Amino acid sequence: MFATSGDILNMSLAIGFIILVIFVCMLLFYGILILRDVTKVVDDVEAVVSRVKKTIVGPLQAVDYLIEKLQPYIEAVIEKKTAEKKKKS
C-alpha cells in the first residue's frame, strides 16, 4: 500500500484535509446555530420595543397633544390670576 515516502505524505495530506473539512463543517454548523439564536433574540427585542412603544410612547404622545391644545387656555388663566394679583396690590 505504501511503496514510498511520497505515498505516506499523500495519505497524511488526505487525512489532514479530511479532518480540516470535518472541523470546517462543525464550525459552519455551530455558526448557523448561533445565528439562529441571534435571530430569535432580535425577534424578542423587536416585540419588547413594540410593546414599550405602545404602552409608553403612545400615551406620552397623547398627553403632549393635549398639553399643546390646552396651553392657550392655561396661559389665559395664569394671566388672569396675575392680573388679579396686580389689581389687589
Q: How far apart are CA 38 and CA 54, in angstroms?
A: 24
Each residue's pLDDT tens digit in the chain (89 positions)?
A: 778 999 999 999 999 999 999 999 999 999 999 999 999 999 999 999 999 888 888 888 888 899 899 999 989 989 988 888 888 76
Q: How far apart are CA 48 and CA 31, in angstroms?
A: 26
Surface-to-core class of residue 1, CB atoms within 10 Å of its CB (0-12 exposed, 13-18 middle, 19+ buried): exposed
Q: What is the pLDDT of residues 75-89, one digit of tens each?
A: 998 998 888 888 876
Decide if 2 contacts 8 (C-beta within 8 A): yes
pTM, to two decimals: 0.54
Q: How far apart are CA 7 and CA 3, in angstroms?
A: 7
DSSP one-letter code for 3 = -
Q: Which three cell numbers stand for residue 69?
A: 391644545
